[in-house]
A and B are shown apart, each in its own frame.
Chain A
Amino acid sequence: MDELEFRKRLYANPNTPDQELLDAAQNNPDYQKILDETQELEADVNQLLSSVTAPQGLRDQLLNIPTQAEPEAATTVFPNRAAANSSYFQYYAIAAILLLAVGVTFSLMFNSGPSSAEIAFGNEVIQHLYVDEVEINAITAGTDSSILAMPVINQAMADSGTRLVNVDFLQGIPVRMAKPCPVLPAYQSAHLVIQGSQGAVSIIVVNNSPVSLEYTIRDDRFEGVVVPMGEGNMILLGESDENLDQYKDLFSEGVDWVI
């Protein structure tokens, strides 16, 4: 084993060197010195990284999250109180339904844009693109020209609860990346990246609640559209001067949801 190979294997996992490394070190004093120095440095690294401790009170704050996130759960813990309040609850329910009806009417009359939650969802998806920025940059720059095979694409789609109903439409469209996507951790989703005319075009399908209407999203670099589709949403995002309409039509018809 030459020294580079020895170092490579040792540095990749200095705490548990395999027997071959130990044997090589035992038979060569230079290697033994490298092993000792590396393990010494590793102990220092370990000690330094582990020396950070969480601030006091953080644990209690974390334990309080369930009550803060779902305050309504507290009422279900006390059934007697809930029963005592049941008559009031009926009045509240009627009032809430009336308010909701008025609200929906007004929103339909005066508000034709996406809701704040939908805007936030769009922003979240755009931000998520930057998680894959390296890959996207490589595709846009043309340094990644790989074309994925259909089984890889199908697997990514299946992992999101979707499937391609008509694979023919992908002919002529180079799919560079396909993978399950954690944009919303609670929901299944898939992220495909194809080669567009101006660079990478992302197609993200998420099985969260469909948005109320199609709307555009953008930041300094990317521009895209959120499209309600069946049991979820499809988001197309590309460089700001990319024409996404053609892909929107293709993928709207080519993707089906598996429930």
Chain B
Amino acid sequence: MSNGPVIHGSTKQQRYESLVATLYQDVYRYAFWLCKNKPMAEDLVQETFLRAWRSLDSLQNDKAVKAWLFTILRRENARQYERYRPELVDIEGQSVAESGENEPDARMDRELLHNAINRLDSDYREPLLLQVIGGFSGKEIAEILNLNNNTVMTRLFRARSILKQEFELDADELED
């Protein structure tokens, strides 16, 4: 098991504030890559923390708080957006790909990688996001996604195989 952050404080309010301070960046990152849209990610994060606040007393193991939050977010995303997702223009992708890179080649690589990640089927993208952003172990990912550990390992293998293949393919096409 990965060492999840422990929330601090004796009152519900203090525990909640500690939860926000420790995890809001990771939760937002996960939301963004899950729904691929900044305003929707922001809404998802707000709804997630609202539900977390309401249910905080029922949280029995503070060490599992990160998995708990990610699970709430995942379900909220499924509930709100997976079925009724509006048509989105991916203007976010460009800004993420461009951020922090001045070299044209590096920017291009980031953009290709960004597109390759976004094209991944959600079955493969989700375990990858949970592993890279959440830092979860295979077992923890299996619990969050309600899969067995072997399936998670296979999906992580498939995710990176596809990513590598597509990224290299895109790069080759650009060179041609």
Contacts and interface: CB of A to CB of B under 8 A. Distances in A.
A and B are interacting partners: yes
Interface in A48-90: 48-55, 58-59, 61-63, 65-66, 69
A182 B51 CA distance: 12
Contacts of A7: 157, 161
Interface in B23-43: 24-25, 28-29, 32-33, 38, 42
Interface residues of A, number: 38
SS class of chain B's interface: helix, strand, loop or mixed? Answer: helix
A44 B28 CA distance: 20
Contacts of A209: none
Interface of B: 12-13, 16-17, 20-21, 24-25, 28-29, 32-33, 38, 42, 45-46, 49-51, 53-55, 58, 71-72, 75, 78-79, 82-83, 96-97, 99-100, 109-110, 113-114, 117, 128-129, 131-133, 138, 146, 153-154, 156-157, 159-161, 163-164, 167
Interface in A141-187: 179, 182, 185-186
B147 to A, nearest CB: 11
B141 to A, nearest CB: 11
A130 B78 contact: yes
B53 A49 contact: no
A59 B58 contact: no
A52 B75 contact: no
A109 interface: no
A111 interface: no
A44 B71 CA distance: 26
A45 interface: yes
Contacts of A42: 160
26 contacts: A8-B154, A11-B156, A11-B160, A12-B138, A38-B160, A42-B160, A45-B113, A46-B132, A48-B114, A49-B129, A49-B133, A51-B96, A52-B29, A54-B42, A54-B45, A59-B21, A62-B49, A63-B20, A66-B12, A66-B13, A69-B50, A130-B82, A131-B79, A185-B51, A185-B55, A185-B58
A71 to B, nearest CB: 13
